[in-house]
Amino acid sequence: MSQSHTHTHPHAPFSFTPANRKLAEEIIARYPQGREASAVLPLLDLAQRQCGNWLPQTAIEHVAEVLDLAPIRVLEVASFYTMFNRKPVGRAFVQLCRTTPCWLRGSEELVATYKRITDCGPRATTPDGVFTLLEVECLGACSNAPVVQINDDFYEDLTAESFAEVLEAFKRGEKPKAGSQIGRVSSEPLGRDGE
Amino acid sequence: MPKLTIDGIAIEVPAGVTVLQACELAGKEIPRFCYHERLSIAGNCRMCLVEMEKSPKPIASCAMPVAEGMAIKTDSPMVKKARHGIVEFLLINHPLDCPICDQGGECDLQDQAMAYGAGLSRYNESKRAVEEKYMGPLVKTEMTRCIHCTRCVRFVTEVAGVEGLGLLGRGEHAEITTYLEQALDSELSGNVIDLCPVGALTAKPYAFVARPWELARTESVDVLDAVGAAICVDARDNEVVRILPRLNEAVNEEWLGDKSRFAVDGLKRQRLDRPYLRGADGRLAAVSWSDAFAAIAKRIKGVKGERIAAIIGDMADAEAMVALKDVMAKLDAPHIDCRQDGAAIDPSLRAGYLFNSTIAGLETADAVLLVASNPRAEAPLVMSRLRKAWLTLDAKLAAIGPVPPGNLPVESLGAGAKTLKDVADGKHPFAKVLSAAKRPALILGQGALRRSDVAAVLGTARRAADSLGLIRDGWNGFNMLHTAAARVGALDLGLVPESGARDLAGILEGASGGALDVVFLLGADEIDMAKLGRAFVVYLGHHGDAGATRADVVLPGAAYTEKNATYVNTEGRVQFARRAVHPPGDAREDWTILRALSDALGRSIDMSSLGDARRRLVAVNPIFDRAGAIVPAPWGDFGTEGKLDPAPFVTAIPDYYLTDPIGRASPTMAECSRIFVHHRASRTGTDG
């Protein structure tokens, strides 16, 4: 897909909600005068949150307008950072780590589990609009591998079974408890005897 | 000044220069793709790597400032290996399609891969391919060839001043594009083609036309606006195939406006290649030169000089104009006017009609007032200087009348002459800005002069220049921005009616009222032809435009690429256009036609060679002996105090692309006008 195709939700004019507009102004005020353009990253994040975890073209243009930037400058930033989604994603945006430690600890099983439960592959959204899967490289939680990030939260120490439970919960519209799924605190050793 | 050694050569360079510039000062060539002298430093191509003592890795010399005691090596094994590696990396995703690439033969990547590459690639995997991007009717893209140097992005943002291009994505997925693939809306967009070091951005109208080694190159000047940019006219056989800018720091640096670059296809269309005579049936029929001259002689015989008039067009060369002046003098005909747009400029004081600060000087101005001028359309290269003044000196910019579109912050002061009067009287706040500035300037556009109150507008502008300190030691900030290449030369030759003689309005009135019998048009196409009434019209020019359509006799002349001719630009700089190709068919150089006509009329002018014509120019005005130079014009009094018309100022040029017969004959310019001026859909659907 060409980089220049910005996907616009039909009939989706965008502007910040009054609360977000206020927040945006607070964010802009953190930067020195004349450097307001530096607020482009937090403002894009704000816009992405308001849009349901993706950035339609209208949101990019609105951020450009708020910061008095050319739309192309904002699009450059939005397209550079992989954490901005420029296509709509599901309610649960699943980023599954497949780098070596997670892979050694069974990330391939998690992919298979995801496929079994959602009947959908990576980089696609399920027809019910619940899940989108993105296979990613290291999320930085290797000691609690395998790990999956869903929206803002890490789900760690997963097995095929516990991952299935997490996904089922999202399917029901619930938000399961984030963090280690085996009750581990932070990344303490698994066995108390230094197993 | 820091001292350093480069390849063992000790050299002292100015502080603040980069290692790359220091290497050049030491006579060492450093290959580069992204670095460009006139753009900001990006440092992303890595081709300029050199070895620096005490640095474990090679450094990018374009981005490294010099420091005292540096020891640089540009030809060490490390540098050689680094260059091999960079070229190999750049070629990983670069298609080897040089045989079908328009850049072939003048490609930096081709040349540098030959000179600095290893000659071999170890890459066997698939190359990436990138979708073509639409950038408008002038720039053709082949984005698979792009090496992401971002020169085009930097040029468009920094010099052209439109935020049109950007680099989207990252790494392997990085792509250059315009926002939503809109056309690149800048009058300087063609320069990205020259800047592109590979064949990613090439000239759309020139696609697959010629190879650089087939072209004969002629150094000339542009006449499609009054800037007089230095150009190279590239011709193959007897056809001009493209026009490129040539370096002239004083005028165009190394840039060129799109009209000057791309109107070249208009030189092949609508050309007058034979003399024509209007027959009894009212239709123009091709005739021989002698028949055409005989018809003119027959009509003029017995006609008194005061019933003969001449109007001079925007692209007339000085030789033809002085020949016409002499022919008119021989006919005792007083009615002659070079201001076919009716801009009644006062020719009595040279400083009153010149761009006195000079074009290069404008970038040192720190406060500029535009009066009825939109330099973006009238002279894009002046606009880029104005932009530089704003970028480097934070120049305060304001406009009376239309505000130039774009991202330059120009404050609008008012719509018409009354605001100018307020400024001149010191009543307007901007008057203080101007008088407090070190180098204040005023740019007076032709839009302010095509009015009935010209003398008063000029007088008010002159008074503003005097009262606000625009004229001071070594600086004259009074600038008239012309739009016609012929105008300043014509004013220098005094081609305006003497007192009592008819000016443009008088000529048109006389012709329609029957007071004039014969009207000569020297390339004049922008007048209202209907007002010529029943006059016998002789048109001398190179395109079948409005003038030729109305004419009773058409004499085919030479376009600016087909003659050795003198032009004076808006600064008063005398420059020469040179012949690159021969005029088509029976067409001739304009002054030779006028000389032959004078013979046919039995009143020969004394001009039998180009040298004669040029000596005659110098005799009329010694300024023509000072080619290339700026001769500062003494300041004085001009204009009058009078009643100012309350009507708002308008710009002289509503459509940048269609200002002259060449542009109007050019399909490329028609397409540009359609897309950029008429704001139609930016995608044509015809470009694949």
**The predicted structure's pLDDT at residue A9:** 58
The Cα B162–Cα B150 span in angstroms is 15
> Would the CB atoms of B164 and A72 count as touching at under 8 Å?
yes
User: Chain A partners of B130 at a C-beta cutoff of 8 Å?
Assistant: 2
Please determine, for residue A191, whether its predicted confidence score (pLDDT) is greater than 80: no
- Residue B198 clears pLDDT 60, i.e. is over it: yes
pLDDT tens digits, residue range A36-59? Answer: 999 999 999 999 999 999 999 999
Query: What's the ipTM?
Result: 0.88
Distance of alpha carbon B683 from alpha carbon B672, whole angstroms: 12
CB of B588 within 8 Å of any CB in chain A? no
Q: What is the mean pLDDT of residues B386-405?
A: 95
**pLDDT greater than 60 at residue A144:** yes
Residue B465's closest CA among B488, B435, B437?
A: B435
Residue A127 has pLDDT above 80, yes or no: yes
pLDDT at A2 over 80: no
Residue B197 pLDDT: 97
A80–chain B nearest CA distance, Å: 5
Residue B665 near residue B259, CB atoms below 8 Å: no
Percent of chain A with pLDDT over 90: 83
Q: Is B274 helix (H, G, I), strand (E, B) or coil?
A: coil
Q: What does residue A175 show for φ and ψ, rounded to 5 degrees?
A: -120, 100
Q: Which residues from A are below 8 Å from B169, CB to CB?
A: 3, 79-80
Tell me whether strands B175-178 and B165-168 are parallel, antiparallel or unpaired. Answer: antiparallel
Residue numbers in B near A73 (CB within 8 A) = 163, 166
pLDDT of residue A6: 39
Tell me the C-alpha to C-alpha distance, in Å, between residue A159 and each of A93, A100, A182. Answer: 19, 16, 9
Which chain A residue is nearest to residue B132, measuring alpha carbons?
A2
Q: Which H helix or E strand runs over B289?
A: helix B289-300
Q: Which residue of A has its CA nearest to B407?
A: A70
Q: What integer best gives the mean pLDDT of chain B?
A: 94
B181 at A interface, C-beta within 8 A? yes
**pLDDT on residue A193:** 56
- CA dihedral sign of residues A51, A54, A56, A62: positive
pLDDT beyond 50 at B49: yes
Parallel, antiparallel, or unpaired for β A131-136 and B478-481?
Answer: unpaired
- Statement: residue B688 has pLDDT above 60: no
Q: For residue B326, give the nearest of B567, B595, B18 by alpha carbon.
A: B595
Assess A58–B contact: CB distance below 8 Å, yes or no.
no
C-alpha A100/C-alpha B107 separation (Å) is 44
pLDDT digits (tens, 9 = 90+) for B250-265: 999 999 999 999 999 9
Side chain identity at B22, as an amino acid letter?
Answer: A
pLDDT of residue A154: 96
> Edge to edge, what strands does the sheet with B71-73 contain?
B9-12, B3-6, B71-73, B49-52, B59-60
Examine the pLDDT at B583 and tell me if it is beyond 80. Answer: yes
The two tokens of residue B101 are 């690439």
Q: Say yes or no: B170 contacts chain A, CB-CB below 8 A.
A: yes
Q: Does A8 touch chain B (CB under 8 A)?
A: no
Alpha helices per DSSP H over chain A:
18-29, 40-50, 57-67, 71-80, 100-104, 107-118, 160-171
Task: Name every chain B residue with its beta carbon within 8 A of the beta carbon of A70.
Answer: 163, 179, 407
Q: Would you say residue A3 has pLDDT above 50?
A: no
Measure CA A71 to chain center. Answer: 23
**pLDDT over 70 (residue B375):** yes
pLDDT the model gives residue A189: 85
For residue B102, which amino acid is it?
D
Contact B175 A71 (CB under 8 A): no
**Mean predicted confidence (pLDDT) in B392-409:** 92
Partner-chain contact B175 A75, CB within 8 Å: no
Place of tokens 């499609």: B224
pLDDT band at A192 (very low <50, low <70, confident <90, very high): low
Q: Is B179 in Cβ contact with A70 (below 8 Å)? A: yes
How large is the average pLDDT for residues A133-155? 95
- Split at pLDDT 50, 70, 90, the class of A5 is very low
- pLDDT tens by residue, B64-87: 999 999 999 999 999 999 999 999
Task: Out of A57, A69, A76, name the one closest to residue B168 (CB).
Answer: A76
Q: What is the pLDDT of residues B259-290, one digit of tens each?
A: 999 999 999 999 999 999 999 999 999 999 99
- DSSP-based three-state secondary structure for B248: strand
